[in-house]
Amino acid sequence: MNISRKSILKMMGYLFFGGIFGFVISMLLRYVGKSEHLNILISIREFLISNSVYLFPLLFLIFFVPVYIFGKIGKKELNQAIDLPDDLYDDHINEAEKKIDISLSLNSIFMVINFIFLGMSFEPRVAQIYVFLGLFLFNILVISLYEISTIRFIQQNDERLKGDPVSFRFRKDFFNSCDEAEKQKILKTSYHGFNLARNVSFALLIMTILSHMILETGIYAIFISGFMLLAIMGGYSYYAIFK
């Protein structure tokens, strides 16, 4: 095995800076554990629980309003592109699709934040628990219906694109119906997304390990973050080797 001196020095540098990073994080966690900052987190949770019935309507206004506006503008521009001359058509289509992509991305973020807030503010003993769950389910229903209707709109404007948005095979069918340029764009985006997910998952694993070692937060968070990293790496390896 031939490893250059430059590669060895570079790896030693990574280990050195990794050690410094771990030391700094450890000191911060020790500081947090000995201070009143954890009480602040407890106070935030209590605030979320006591105001849970207002939380999801507020999220709806903050996120779904821009989702709807971007989507509405994008769909309108996509319909208007039919009457444009060829020299303006492609640019107009790209701008319209970009707005629809922003709308769908915000919609996905809206969904994730709903689940985060559900976990942070769920308390079975609260009297308004059923109203709380009803508001959460309403938001998820709106998110799902909006995504389905937007995908069907895109398919109506491009009959090449296939797939039922309520089917588990949708992403596979949709990808197979794209042309080569669209597939390359999806693959490039997926690769960058994989790298980001891998790095974030590894950082979360380190954080949960350090938190358990210093603050005794338990092994469950380590298991979840570790399993997520294994799933990401295992999935990539499976498709790289067997597909």
Rounding to the nearest 10 degrees, give the CA dihedral for residues 119, 121, 126, 132: -80
Q: Are residues 136 and 194 in the same domain?
A: no
Residue 144 contacts residue 166 (beta carbons within 8 Å): no
The answer on pLDDT for 166 being more than 70 is yes
Would you state the pLDDT for residue 18? 62
Q: Are residues 58 and 123 in the same domain?
A: yes
Would you state the pLDDT for residue 207? 82
Q: Are residues 63 and 103 in the same domain?
A: yes
Number of compact structural domains in the chain: 3
Mean pLDDT of the chain: 81
- Determine which of 65-69, 126-130, 165-169 has the lowest per-residue pLDDT on average: 126-130
Q: Are residues 45 and 63 in the same domain?
A: no
Residue 3 in any domain: the answer is: no
Q: Of 161, 178, 195, which residue sits at a domain end?
A: 178
The answer on pLDDT for 202 being more than 70 is yes
The answer on pLDDT for 27 being more than 70 is no
Q: Are residues 56 and 171 in the same domain?
A: yes
User: CA-to-CA distance for 243 and 238, rounded, in angstroms?
Assistant: 7
Would you state the pLDDT for residue 119? 82
Q: Are residues 45 and 99 in the same domain?
A: no
Q: Are residues 144 and 103 in the same domain?
A: yes
Given pLDDT bands bounded at 50, 70 and 90, which one contains residue 85? low
Residue 136 in any domain: the answer is: yes
The answer on pLDDT for 61 being more than 60 is yes
User: CA-to-CA distance for 234 and 236, rounded, in angstroms?
Assistant: 5
Residue 1 in any domain: the answer is: no
The answer on pLDDT for 126 being more than 80 is no
Residue 2 in any domain: the answer is: no
What does each C-alpha distance from 175 to 154, 165, 167, 188 come to in angstroms? 14, 12, 14, 13
Residue 199 contacts residue 157 (beta carbons within 8 Å): no
Q: Are residues 34 and 66 in the same domain?
A: no
The CA R_g of the chain, rounded to the nearest whole Å, is: 23
Q: Are residues 107 and 59 in the same domain?
A: yes
Instruction: Tell me the DSSP string of 179-218.
Output: -HHHHHHHHHHHHHHHHHHHHHHHHHHHHHHHHHHHH---
Which domain does 241 fall in, by range?
A: 179-243
Residue 28 in any domain: the answer is: yes
User: CA-to-CA distance for 191 and 172, rounded, in angstroms?
Assistant: 16
Q: What is the pLDDT of residues 29-43, one digit of tens each?
A: 666 555 555 566 677
Q: Are residues 109 and 217 in the same domain?
A: no
| Mean pLDDT on 93-118 | 90
Residue 61 in any domain: the answer is: yes
- Please name the residue ranges forming H helices in the chain: 5-34, 37-50, 52-59, 65-80, 86-121, 129-157, 170-177, 180-215, 220-242
What does each C-alpha distance from 44 to 127, 142, 173 come to in angstroms? 19, 27, 44
The one-letter code for the residue type at 26 is S
| Mean pLDDT on 214-230 | 84
Task: Give φ, ψ of 31 to 5 degrees.
Answer: -65, -45
The answer on pLDDT for 142 being more than 90 is yes
Q: Are residues 68 and 46 in the same domain?
A: no
Q: Are residues 63 and 101 in the same domain?
A: yes
Q: How many residues does the chain have?
A: 243
